[in-house]
Amino acid sequence: MTSAVRKLALKLLSAVAPHSPPDSQCWGNAMLRELDFIESDWASLRWALGGTTAILQHSIACKARTLVAKQSKQWEEWTLRNVAKKAAGLTSGVVLAAGVLTSSILGLARLSPVLFPAMGFERTHWAQWLALLVIPESIFVIAAVRLWRKKRDMARGIVLGAVTLVVHVIVHVTMHG
């Protein structure tokens, strides 16, 4: 008949061994089999406590190594060359956005008298909004979506330019009515 102390030792190791990392499960199973050869009930409990502690320490060490390896890969992305590459992509996106905005404003300012000669410049308020927001923002969204997979940093720069433009317009309208 098995004593309560030995049952506790068996349950303790049985609970921990199957949930240990795969490379130490055979080690936990060996500890379980070793329990059968320990004569004293209290010695079996000490064995189970020691084995449980060892398995848990090994599990924590394995998890820590995995986390450190994952973190070091993330830190590798932040080398000087990669940061410079990301900054160049972001800057080129912002410059591209500024170019689109400038082209849109200048192009619509020159084309509106040609396309709509009957309308005087006093009625071109809608054309200003078209040139300032609708056309550039549409181009920004299309460009950012198209570039997102292959040139994500440039797409982020375009989004940054688009957000800056919208914030600028909101502040301008709020300040000047």
Query: Tens of pLDDT along 55-114?
Result: 888 888 888 888 887 777 766 666 767 788 888 888 988 888 888 878 877 776 676 666
Same domain? 42 vs 103: no
Same domain? 86 vs 140: yes
> According to the per-residue pLDDT averaged within each range, which of 75-79, 113-117, 132-136 is highest?
132-136
| Domain termination residue (choose one: 76, 98, 114) | 76
pLDDT score of 123: 56
**Buried b / exposed e along 105-114 (16+ C-beta atoms within 10 A):** eeebeeebee
Tell me: the pLDDT tens digits for 11-52? 988 888 887 888 778 888 888 898 889 888 899 989 988 888
| Domain termination residue (choose one: 76, 105, 140) | 76
Joined together, the tokens standing for residue 80 give: 């000087």
| Domain termination residue (choose one: 76, 93, 116) | 76
pLDDT score of 165: 84
Same domain? 72 vs 91: no
Question: Rounded to an integer, what is the distance from CA 129 to the centroid of its chain?
Answer: 35
pLDDT score of 62: 83
> Angle, to 10 degrees, between the axis of helix 152-176 and the axis of helix 135-147?
160
| CB contact at 8 A, 160 and 90 | yes
pTM for this structure?
0.47
